[in-house]
Structure 1
Amino acid sequence: MTLTVPTWLTLLRILMIPVLVLVFYLPYRWTNFAAAGVFILAAVTDWLDGWVARRYGMHSAFGAFLDPVADKLMVAVALFLIVQGHPTPWMAFWAAVIVGREIAVSALREWMAELGQRATVKVAMIGKVKTTAQMVALSCLLYSVSPNRQTAGIWMGEPVFHIGDWLLAIAALLTLWSGFQYLHAAWPALAEDEQASAARRKAKKMHGTS
């Protein structure tokens, strides 16, 4: 298997996950800058690997599998760190919504792939808006909730933490909305498959009693 440049960038993003955890807990005052910087760099590689793949036609099955895995791992770890640094019920709730939705949609996509209709649950525009809000929110929160430095940095006239907090809530709500859209788009195929399965079970039962 030949690894393409986009796949190497994706692997680099996965390798950044333990780096993010390490710098988040280092006992220095600058670790909030480092943690936010590592996460922003990972987000840049996420954009860059997709751009390189489209621009130069460097697509691969392994890369298509690995890219969303790397994204979900990075986001989940960032959320866990943020909840640990700022353990409030609302922060935990938003994190649970985002992680739970990612698990549910991943399972839905796998099921649709088995039915040969994976394109039915392809990424929509609302998913891209959600991702943008989520990445900005997590960057702001990683900067703000370091266990070694609680900072009240200001961005555009507002505390960075408040910006991240509100954007995370918005991202969580968009997460639920986009998840509902995916389920709504996939429902006809799922219902058809259920009907076909019921018909097969009925036919098998009739055959067994004949």
Structure 2
Amino acid sequence: MTLANQLTLLRIILIPLFVVVFYLPFQWAHFASAMIFSVAAITDWADGYVARKYNQSTPFGAFLDPVADKLMVAIALLLLVGLHHHSAWFAAAAAVIVGREIVISALREWMAELGQRASVAVSYIGKIKTTLQMTAIIVLLIDHPYLLIPGYIALAGAAILTLWSMIIYLRAAWPFLSVNSVSK
């Protein structure tokens, strides 16, 4: 078990703790859940760094890392939608982010079956989207009145970049998605 894989597993182990802390009946619960999410976000960066720097990339890690990322983000957004239940645009932004993750995960899996996974590799826009998304989630988890507007702006920006990056990935995959290319 490599250090990179251990960091990924830590991210998954943090999920139940994150949820329990979020719902604790204490004033500091949301701040503490934001700190747990922050640790998870740091492990997301750290596991990739460690895997590349120390040549610790493994098939298990390649499978588990994106699963851990998507679980943490989807669960955080689900909790936040409950917290901001009065806001239809908030629910729509969360649905765009989660929906895109499902679509792109399926697209990457399908492209890998065609031997074209590199066509839909993570892009620079995707990295910016992830950074903005993680920042938005952390700020919104803190649930402080002065941070709501910046959090909403960051979430809206993340949702826009989510759509933009999805379009980029779909355009790259389009030649392989068309009916003519499949039948050839």
Q: Deviations over 1:18-40 (max 9, x none)?
A: 11100000011110210110000
Cα distance in 2 for partners of 1:188, 1:197 equals 9
1:135 equivalent in structure 2: 134
Cα distance in 1 for partners of 2:50, 2:125 equals 23
SS at match of 1:34: helix
Cα distance in 2 for partners of 1:185, 1:136 equals 28
> What is the letter of the counterpart of residue 55 of structure 1?
K
Q: Which runs of 5+ in 2 are unaligned?
A: none
Percent identical:
58
Shift of 1:161: 1.1
2:83 equivalent in structure 1: 85
TM-score by length of structure 1 reads: 0.85
User: Alpha carbon RMSD of aligned pairs, Å?
Assistant: 1.0
Cα distance in 1 for partners of 2:182, 2:136 equals 43
* Counterpart contact for 2:93–2:156, Cα < 8 Å: yes
Aligned mate of 1:13, from 11, 14, 35: 11
Shift of 1:190: 2.2
2:158 equivalent in structure 1: 171
2:148 equivalent in structure 1: 161
Cα distance in 1 for partners of 2:48, 2:103 equals 24
SS at match of 2:27: coil
Cα distance in 2 for partners of 1:28, 1:97 equals 31
Are 2:180 and 1:195 aligned? yes
Shift of 1:196: 5.1
Q: CA 1:79–1:119 in 2, change beyond 3 Å: closer, same or farther?
A: same
Which aligned pairs between 1:1-210 and structure 2 lie closer than 5 A? 3-87=1-85, 88-144=87-143, 151-152=144-145, 159-191=146-178, 194-195=179-180, 197-198=182-183
Larger Rg: 1
Q: Deviations over 1:63-94 (max 9, x none)?
A: 01100000000000000000101111011000
List, as ranges, runs of 4+ consecutive aligned residues in structure 1 with deviation greater than 3 Å.
196-199
Q: Which runs of 5+ in 1 are unaligned?
A: 145-150, 153-158, 200-210
Residue correspondences, number: 183
TM-score by length of structure 2 reads: 0.97
